[in-house]
Amino acid sequence: MTRLPRWADVVLVPLISLLLAGIISALVILAIGQSPTEALKTMVIGAVGSPYAWGYTLYYATSFIFTGLAVTVAFHASLFNIGGEGQAQLGGLGVALVCLSLPWPHWTLALPAAMIGAALFGAAWAAIPAYLQARRGSHIVITTIMFNYIGAALIIYMLVNVLRPAGQMDPATARFPEGTKLPTLHEIPGLNLIFDKQVPANVTLFVALVACWLVWLLLWRTRLGYEIRAFGKSEKAAIYAGISPVRITMIAMLISGALAGLMSINNVMGESERLLQNSAEGAGFIGIAVALMGRNHPVGVLLAAILFGFLFQGGAELGLWTSIPIELRTVVQGLVILFTGALDHMVRMLLGLFVAPRRTEVA
Amino acid sequence: MDYATLLQILDSTLRLATPLLLACLAGLFSERSGIFDIGLEGKMLMAAMCTGAVAAMTGQVWLGVLAGIVGSMLFAVVHGLASITFRGNQLISGVALNFVASGITVLIAQSLFRQGGRTPPLSGDARFNPIELPFAETLSNLPVIGPFYSEVLSGHTALVYIGLLCVPLTWWVLYRSRFGLRLRAVGENPASVDTAGISVVRLRYTAVIITGILCGLAGAYMAAGLQAGFGKEMTAGRGYIALAALIFAKWRPWYALMATLLFGFFQALALRPDVIAKTLHFAIPVPALDALPYILTVIVLAGFVGRAIPPRAGGEPYVKER
């Protein structure tokens, strides 16, 4: 097995994976009779070409930071949480219940309360799969997938039968009160010099940045983080060191679920201002790609989230201005996951041809 | 609920269970060989698109099925490469391929037909037509059994019967053939299979390709049997329901038939909320019925109703001893 120098493993492997995904996407664009360079130009202009475009890219990136961190924390305990999508949707339910329960006077009061609601509901949705993994040995991947579907059904039921205001046709909650409205980057003094138009990116971006720092602090500067990483590296060694597998599995998954739930501050409270069906719009799944691409480190997650924000916004622009369907971004997302997560040995072998490898025998 | 309504529901149960059954048996081959496959959904979707496109262009449904199988096998081979040759994470590979399939099917369908990512509606020979079983007409006058035979069992498309035949066939292959013995062994203890001089890699690739073929049939049935053409995300989570059924069935073929029929029955009931309300005298919300297969699977996984133990070597790449 090829062992690469650390810098190559951290920087080159994701970059090569991205390059491979890019090349294949370019071939796909060529195959459907479009120009890859035109496509790239449209994406760059539409996603990073103006402050207005950045407003959208950063809005998506904010959501992806949360879901990426959610997958990261679980990954460090060697748990693969595919349930981010369901946890984020349930988090949205928590936000909606908090926002609709009181006539909030100001967003500074509503935001912490809604964050607690989002985190609690997200964590609750991760708690059952976590318990089943820890105590009953059922595979967390399968149970979290199942909980995505159960969550979606629960949200539909809540929206149609419980939370929908009388006389409204579409399955959604009532609009949140004025006092819960989060300021967008356009409304923040100082930043409004850059963002001169209304953009969806809002103060949640700063919450997300703080979350990155806190997750770093948790994983590398606390005893709990050490226990999570030790458990993830070797369960046997962790048990020998007196770390309880049940406790770590539960805690890691609860934190993961809470982080996924917190993303709904951004989209439900910050953007749509009411809870809609399928509110997470796949961001829970993109968290997988972001975590893999970001090498399970908060800094990497931040960069990868911005990259996927670019991809998401750029892909939407493609759908608007060219005849390349918006679904191209799903293809790129899948390819990035494939190369960084499943074909990483292949990428390392490729790299080993160029970077002086340190050959070590791995039994 | 009167007998006629029951027959109607059982009829749609069989129709709705078929894609689940084919995908479930597909997953069975892969997982029994030790390769986890959460990419059933993506393979079905790819097959549905290929079938829809080729059947629409040629007007021949069987050419469509062939194309569907090829499309699904393409994804199966990539999954094989990632999980067997390059020893990657099988779960991540499956998730990734589902995303690729979800996007690429729309891209291809849109560039071929420019109809918003759909394939044109199929009709006539481009679609599967119902097959009347022999004596369906004459036997229909018999009490109870007659209508059951002519209404529920007869009048389905070819793939429904092929799917049902696949169950005993899978059972025979798995438990009565040399290949099946080896397949089960490689999923439990690949090292022992390797020691016996049998190639682990070849066995697993064979299993993954069989998975591709069966998923191809499942997708083809979606596009040319259950519906008339491919639409975006038309499999709507059926690959995951099949996965749930596979666990529910504890990786055994006859149980797979029963699990998929049960889940098909839930889907059929979800289409007829009026019948439930009349029979039970209270309304069960449709989302609850939609979620039922997943809830049942979680309960089974939790080990409250018997234990579901997956093949021992599942999910782990095999590294030959040196």
Chain B contacts of A150, Cβ < 8 Å? 291, 294-295, 298
For residue A128, list chain B residues with Cβ-Cβ distance below 8 A: 298
Beta-sheet strands, E only, within chain B: none
Q: Do A345 and B243 touch (CB under 8 A)?
A: no
Inter-chain CB proximity A32 and B108 less than 8 Å = yes
The per-residue pLDDT for range A129-154, each reduced to its tens digit, is: 999 988 887 788 889 988 999 999 99
Q: What is the pLDDT of residues B241-280, one digit of tens each?
A: 898 889 888 899 999 999 999 989 888 888 887 777 777 7
- For residue A157, give the chain B residue with the closest CA: B287
Among chain A residues, the shortest Cα distance to B97 is held by: A334
Cβ neighbourhood burial of A162 (10 Å; 0-12, 13-18, 19+): exposed
A157/B302 touch (CB, cutoff 8 Å), yes or no: no
Q: What is the pLDDT of residue B151?
A: 77
A140 Cα to chain B: minimum distance (Å): 10
pLDDT on residue B305: 63
Q: Which residues in A lie closer than 8 A to residue B101 (C-beta atoms)?
A: 334
Residue A362 pLDDT: 46
Close Cβ partners of A251 (under 8 Å, ≥ 6 residues apart): A224, A228
CB contact under 8 A, A80 and B91: yes
Question: Residue B322's pLDDT is what?
Answer: 64
Taking the C-alpha atoms of residue A77 and residue A59, their distance in angstroms, rounded to an integer, is 29
Inter-chain touch B103–A143, beta carbons under 8 Å: no
Decide if A153 and B117 are in contact by the 8 Å CB cutoff: no
Q: Closest chain A residue to B297 measured between Cα atoms?
A: A146
CB-based contact B298 A343, cutoff 8 Å: no
What chain B residue is nearest to A350 in terms of C-alpha separation? Answer: B86
Does B298 sit within 8 Å of A132, measured CB to CB? yes
Burial classification of residue A193, based on how many CB atoms lie within 10 Å of its CB (0-12 exposed, 13-18 middle, 19 or more buried): exposed
pLDDT (tens digit, 9 = 90+) per residue, A49-95?
888 899 999 999 999 999 999 999 999 999 999 999 999 999 999 99
Q: What's at A213, amino acid-wise?
A: W
Q: How far is A176 from chain B (nearest CA, A)?
A: 25
Task: Tell me the CA distances in angstroms from A78 to A74, A128, A249, B82, one per residue in order.
Answer: 6, 18, 9, 20
Q: Answer yes or no: is the ipTM higher than 0.95.
A: no
Higher pLDDT pick, A265 / B287: A265
| Distance from the A186 Cα atom to the nearest Cα atom in chain B, whole angstroms | 33
**CA-wise closest residue to A184 among A167, A166, A199:** A199
β-bridge partners, A54: none
What pLDDT, on a 0 to 100 scale, did the predictor assign at position B160? 93
Select the residue from A281, A290, A331 to test the B interface by mutation, using most B Cβ atoms within 10 A: A331
Return the pLDDT at A363. 41
What's the pLDDT at B1?
A: 67
C-beta separation of B34 from B200 below 8 A = no
Number of CB pairs, chain A paired with chain B, less than 8 A apart: 151
Q: What is the pLDDT of residues B7-20, one digit of tens each?
A: 888 999 999 999 99
Chain A contact set for B108 (CB, 8 A): 32
The answer on pLDDT for B54 being more than 60 is: yes
Contact A288 B92 (CB under 8 A): yes
**Residue A280 and residue A263 in contact, taking contact as beta carbons nearer than 8 Å:** yes
As its CATH architecture, domain A50-356 has Orthogonal Bundle (1.10)
Contact: B302, A132; criterion CB under 8 Å: yes
**B110/A139 CB distance under 8 A:** no
Residues of chain A with pLDDT under 50: 361-363
- The residue type at B266: F
- Distance linking the first and last C-alpha atoms of chain A: 9
**B188-213 average pLDDT score:** 93
Which residues from B are below 8 Å from A344, CB to CB? 88
Minimal CA separation from B178 to chain A, in Å: 30
3-state helix, strand, coil in chain B (%, to 5): 70, 0, 30
CB contact under 8 A, B100 and A136: no
Nearest neighbour of B86 by CB, restricted to A138, A146, A346:
A346
Number of CB atoms found within 10 A of residue A36's CB: 16
Nearest CB partner across the interface for A345, out of B78, B88, B247: B88
**C-beta atoms of B287 and A156 within 8 A:** yes
Give the closest of A32, A82, A161 to B285, CB-based: A161
Average pLDDT rounded to a whole number, residues B162-187? 94
User: For residue A260, what pLDDT is reported?
Assistant: 96
| Domain chopping of chain A, boundaries | 50-356
Residue A52 to residues A55, A267, A313, Cα–Cα distance (Å) = 5, 18, 11
Nearest to B107 among A288, A328, A335 (CB): A328
| A-interface mutation test, from B74, B87, B95, most A Cβ less than 10 A away | B95
Using CA atoms, how far apart are residues B49 and B68, in angstroms rounded to an integer?
Answer: 7
